[in-house]
Amino acid sequence: MFKKILIANRGEIAVRIIAACREMGIATVAVYSDVDRAALHVRKSDEAYFIGPAPAAESYLRTDRILGVAKRSGAEAIHPGYGFLSENATFAQACADAGVKFIGPTPHSMEMMGSKTRARQEMEKAGVPVVPGTSRGLVSPEEGEEVAARIGYPVMLKAAAGGGGKGMRLVHSREELRSALESAQSEAQRSFGDSEVYIEKAIVNPRHIEMQVLADEHGNTVWLGERECSIQRRHQKVIEEAPSPIVDPDMRRRMGEVAAKVAQAANYTNAGTVEFLVDREKNFYFLEMNTRLQVEHPVTELTTGLDLVHLQIRIAAGEKLPFRQSDVEMRGHAIECRVYAEDPDNNYFPSPGKITLLLEPSGPGIRRDSGMYEGWNVPVDYDPLLAKLIGYGSDRQQAIMRLQRALGEYLVAGIKTNISLFQRILGDADFLEGKLDTGYLDRWLAKGNQNLASRAPEPRLPGVEKTEALEAVAAIAGGLFAVLDPVSPVGKNGSIVRMGSGPTAVPSNWKQKGRSEALR
Ligand code: MV4
């Protein structure tokens, strides 16, 4: 086993990986940029090294500096987390060349999955269902029109080097195709330096469901169940859950077996995720494979009882998977809310700044993976994900109730967060019924704003008086404020307003303010 691991990342995922290392008796090496000197991952690691200015291109993306730190610190392996260098095959190769183990798949697997057309070719060869379309770049608008006529409109144009929606165009008719292809190609060229664009039949309002896989370096591959990731905005996931409300045991097994086939066709090792698009008839199609640990891995950990980061490290150290497919059992339901430093009342604009007060929930069925602490300054330079709040229960309703309770206890002051958004989504009738697809959140935001304007009552959990429950939670939050800072009720903008010099100076309406703040 490794004695020391470098974590080439920051934020909650760096903290999560440090926790796993600590549990395994492995020393940790953090790296940090200028604006992350006081970040939580730096404080929690055994050693920390400065790697450059705030822009990621000059710090967290600098292969030379990170490998330099690995050498200086004597780290034998690097965990890349997600984002940054995690899916960069060149970085994985540079690690191998430097004699440092990259905790993830081989550069070969990463390259295969990095090109969407290449991945489609390989998957077709392996007999994996892909969305009807081409597995090569279009050579002319005429070819595009021909293929579209065959598979039928609407069609989706996609950048081969893409992912995340860049260079993607939905085309409804022949008339639109030529100009859509031109603009997709030029966007792909601008974004990825590669203009290759291919075509697929468009699945209308699909669900996005993904399957977790693990593969060791001895040929063993297992699948660990799906995650429903349809609640997203601008290709940014907001809520994920396991299991998916629409996947039954038979569909799960079929999806899992396809995902294992995908991994085997790519000679895949370590943790990976196979993404599927699911249509209304519950047909599922391979979309892409993410060759990293994902943000939403905790919902799989809670429903399988496995620690994915421990297993990633053991696999990278050359160990065999310590269980077989038939040993994997899924139990209960987990839902994750991604807490972002953004303002839901101002078009989800980033909201960096100092966290002046932080009250964090825990308790039955609650897991919180966080990269923040009270007094810390949230930098504007990176992804605004602050923390993940995950509710677990014996069934979906219990997971939802626990999350609602915990969200009501969560107070982040000084900056704006999207916590209030979750409280409202978790009360939405379609959400409660599991009626989700990739268009859900945009529809809900349009509808929700109307509701807000007309002050329509929010739908409730069956059997729970929501107003009562929320008021009770707000009263508790208010009580906590009284104990922690009796002279400082929360201001309307979430900042602390100094009101006087002692408890007697507290205005009579401060509790009311505390309540409205907690209900915000
Ligand atoms: C699609 C699709 C419908 N039909 N492909 C968006 C990101 C990229 N990785 C794939 N995406 C989509 N591909 C076909 N043939 C709809 C989407 C899509 C989507 C997929 C997953 C999660 C959220 C999404 C939001 C909008 C569109």
**SS3 per-residue string spanning 450-495:** HHHHHCCCCCCCCCCCHHHHHHHHHHHHHHHHHHHCCCCCECCCCC
Hey, is 416 helix, strand or coil? coil
In whole numbers, what is the pLDDT of the chain averaged over residues? 89
Does the CB atom of residue 206 touch ligand 1 within 6 A? Answer: yes
Higher pLDDT, 326 or 498: 326
Measure 165 CA to ligand 1 centroid, in angstroms.
Answer: 7
Give yes or no for a contact between 199 and 134, defined as CB atoms under 8 angstroms apart.
yes
The predicted pLDDT at position 450 comes to: 53
pLDDT 10s digits, 441-460: 999 998 865 544 444 444 44
DSSP letter assigned to residue 379? P
Q: Whose CA is nearest to atom 5 of ligand 1?
A: 202
The predicted pLDDT at position 474 comes to: 52
Does the CB atom of residue 167 touch ligand 1 within 6 A? Answer: no
Question: Kind and range of the H or E element at 6?
Answer: strand 4-7
Give yes or no for a contact between 138 and 199, defined as CB atoms under 8 angstroms apart.
yes
The predicted pLDDT at position 479 comes to: 53
Distance CA 125, CA 320 (A): 28
**Which residue matches tokens 């993904």?**
210
The band of 163, judged by pLDDT with boundaries at 50, 70 and 90, is confident
Q: Whose CA is nearest to atom 27 of ligand 1?
A: 438
The predicted pLDDT at position 449 comes to: 56
Q: Provide mean pLDDT across the span 298-315.
A: 98
Distance CA 378, CA 21 (A): 25
Q: Whose CA is nearest to atom 26 of ligand 1?
A: 438
Residue 170 vs residues 148, 179, 230, 334: alpha-carbon distances, Å: 12, 12, 18, 33
Q: Provide mean pLDDT across the span 73-90.
A: 98
- pLDDT > 70? residue 503: no
Pocket test for ligand 1, best of 115, 117, 131, 156 (most atoms within 8 A of CB): 156
Pocket test for ligand 1, best of 131, 226, 287, 289 (most atoms within 8 A of CB): 287
Pocket test for ligand 1, best of 436, 438, 440, 441 (most atoms within 8 A of CB): 438
Total-model pTM? 0.87
Out of 121-135, 305-319, 417-431, 497-511, which region has the weakest mean confidence (pLDDT)?
Answer: 497-511
The predicted pLDDT at position 349 comes to: 93
The predicted pLDDT at position 462 comes to: 52
The band of 514, judged by pLDDT with boundaries at 50, 70 and 90, is very low
Higher pLDDT, 461 or 383: 383
- pLDDT > 90? residue 361: yes
pLDDT 10s digits, 6-47: 999 999 999 999 999 999 999 999 999 999 999 999 999 999
Distance CA 478, CA 486 (A): 10
Distance CA 155, CA 199 (A): 7
The predicted pLDDT at position 475 comes to: 54
pLDDT 10s digits, 188-217: 999 999 999 999 999 999 999 999 999 999
Measure 235 CA to ligand 1 centroid, in angstroms.
Answer: 8
Helices 174-192, 141-151: inter-axial angle, 10-degree rounding: 120
**Phi, psi dihedrals of residue 30, rounded to the nearest 5°:** -95, 155
Distance CA 370, CA 390 (A): 11
The predicted pLDDT at position 476 comes to: 54
Does the CB atom of residue 156 touch ligand 1 within 6 A? Answer: yes
Please state the atom number of ligand 1 nearest to the C-alpha of residue 163: 9
- pLDDT > 90? residue 512: no
Q: Provide mean pLDDT across the span 386-393.
A: 98
The predicted pLDDT at position 167 comes to: 85
Distance CA 4, CA 27 (A): 4
- pLDDT > 90? residue 226: yes
- pLDDT > 50? residue 505: no
Q: Whose CA is nearest to atom 11 of ligand 1?
A: 165
Q: Whose CA is nearest to atom 9 of ligand 1?
A: 163
Active site residues: 292
Residue 480 vs residues 375, 469, 509: alpha-carbon distances, Å: 18, 17, 16
Q: Whose CA is nearest to atom 21 of ligand 1?
A: 208
The predicted pLDDT at position 329 comes to: 98
- CA nearest neighbour of 341 among 375, 379, 294: 379
Distance CA 515, CA 520 (A): 8
Contacts 24+ apart (CB under 8 A), 16-22: 16/309, 16/369, 17/79, 17/81, 17/309, 18/44, 18/45, 19/44, 19/309, 20/307, 20/309, 20/310, 20/313, 21/313
Residue 97 half-sphere exposure toward CB, CA atoms < 13 A: 11
Measure 329 CA to ligand 1 centroid, in angstroms.
Answer: 30
Measure 136 CA to ligand 1 centroid, in angstroms.
Answer: 18
The predicted pLDDT at position 507 comes to: 34
Please state the atom number of ligand 1 nearest to the C-alpha of residue 203: 4
Say if strands 270-278 and 207-215 run parallel, antiparallel, or are unpaired. antiparallel
The predicted pLDDT at position 473 comes to: 53
Instruction: Report cis status (omega within 30 of 0) of the bond before 154.
Output: yes
Hey, is 41 helix, strand or coil? helix
pLDDT 10s digits, 463-492: 544 445 445 555 555 555 444 443 333 333
Six token digits for residue 340: 């972002």
pLDDT 10s digits, 172-191: 999 999 999 999 999 999 99
- pLDDT > 90? residue 244: yes
